[in-house]
């Protein structure tokens, strides 16, 4: 699943090179941009095809993210992502916070997709809000529409599907992405710490990989109140990369041929008898 080749040279196709940025994010937006920009430039030096940053990479408050930390798609954070992608040719998936539509005083938890030309390729607005474990994310954030088209991004011949954080607990989210052609699932997160939470994070990422015969690239925030522990899981459930709770940047090569082999040996997707349909 993850190649052992050095990452100083361009990836040997059919590998797809992915850089994971496990960052500490705070409320200082300029500082957050500087940290994210540094990750993107480090990824460019190792010829990454895709860079994944965590949920809320633009700004984060461990007490809760809301409208005060939101900025529009043409704001400084997404503009910086687009400029760096155009400079390096690497696509980017990153969590941010957008203003809600209309008169809604809340914000929107979103993941933006920027392709290797610097174009904004899509936006996923988080469907499953974290109203669990004593938290009420919906007090501050508006949910994305459950029937919106799945966000998928083609990078170097591999289709990545996007969800975020709490969505990982809902296998239907992953299935919708697979039905849209995804063979790798990307999960930017700020996974809240607490009893059993790190275990849940790891277990759910492995489960989504096995049941979808897909690579899972789960990138968490590090720092106060979150678990970090980013990981890359192969379609056979084998964890190839697993970080601790400290900020780190790691680059991996995803072996597309190995992914195809797992799906051939385990055609569970072809054997499915049920479809995923959004609830009204």
Cβ-contact 160, 186 below 8 angstroms: yes
Contacts of 8 (CB under 8 A, 6+ apart): 46
CA distance 177 to 125: 14
pLDDT score at 175:
97
What phi, psi does 155 have (nearest 5°)?
Answer: -135, 115
Q: Is 55 among the domain residues?
A: yes
Q: Is 4 among the domain residues?
A: no
Q: Is 214 among the domain residues?
A: yes
211 counts as catalytic: no
Nearest to 258 by CA among 235, 225, 233: 235
* Residue 170's CATH number: 3.60.110.10
- 71, 126, 137, 212: the catalytic one is 126
- 55, 71, 84, 137: the catalytic one is 55
SS3 letters for 133-149? CCCCHHHCECCCCCCCC
pLDDT score at 14:
74
How many domains does the structure of the chain reveal? 1
264 counts as catalytic: no
Domain membership of residue 182 as a residue range: 15-265
Q: Is 73 among the domain residues?
A: yes
Q: Is 6 among the domain residues?
A: no
55 counts as catalytic: yes
- 84, 137, 165, 212: the catalytic one is 165
Q: Is 154 among the domain residues?
A: yes
pLDDT score at 3:
47
Q: Is 37 among the domain residues?
A: yes
In tens digits, what is the pLDDT along the chain, a chain of 280 residues?
A: 554 455 667 766 679 999 999 999 999 999 999 999 999 999 999 999 999 999 999 999 999 999 999 999 999 999 999 999 999 999 999 999 999 999 999 999 999 999 999 999 999 999 999 999 999 999 999 999 999 999 999 999 999 999 999 999 999 999 999 999 999 999 999 999 999 999 999 999 999 999 999 999 999 999 999 999 999 999 999 999 999 999 999 999 999 999 999 999 999 999 999 999 998 7
Q: Is 280 among the domain residues?
A: no
């Amino acid at each position: 699943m993850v190649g052992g080749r050095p990452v100083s040279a361009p990836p040997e196709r059919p590998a797809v090179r992915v850089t994971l940025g496990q960052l500490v994010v705070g409320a200082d937006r300029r500082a957050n941009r500087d940290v994210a920009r540094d990750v993107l430039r480090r990824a460019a030096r190792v010829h990454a095809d895709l860079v994944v940053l965590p949920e809320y990479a633009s700004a984060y408050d461990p007490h809760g993210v809301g409208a005060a930390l939101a900025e529009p798609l043409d704001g400084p954070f997404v503009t910086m992502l687009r400029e760096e992608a155009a400079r390096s040719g690497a696509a980017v998936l990153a969590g941010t916070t957008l203003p809600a539509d209309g008169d809604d005083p809340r914000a929107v938890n979103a993941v933006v997709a920027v392709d290797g030309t610097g174009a904004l390729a899509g936006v996923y607005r988080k469907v499953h809000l974290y109203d669990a474990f004593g938290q009420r994310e919906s007090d501050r954030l508006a949910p994305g529409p459950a029937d919106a088209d799945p966000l998928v991004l083609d990078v170097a011949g591999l289709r990545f599907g996007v969800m975020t954080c709490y969505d990982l607990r809902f296998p239907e989210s992953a299935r919708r992405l697979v039905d849209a052609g995804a063979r790798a699932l990307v999960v930017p997160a700020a996974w809240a710490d607490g009893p059993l939470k790190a275990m849940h994070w790891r277990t759910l990422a492995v489960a989504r990989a096995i049941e979808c015969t897909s690579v899972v690239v789960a990138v968490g925030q590090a720092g106060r109140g979150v678990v970090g522990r980013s990981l890359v899981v192969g379609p056979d459930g084998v964890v190839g990369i697993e970080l601790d709770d400290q900020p780190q940047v790691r680059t991996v090569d995803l072996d597309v041929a190995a992914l195809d082999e797992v799906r051939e040996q385990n055609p569970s997707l072809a054997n499915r008898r049920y479809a995923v349909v959004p609830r009204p």
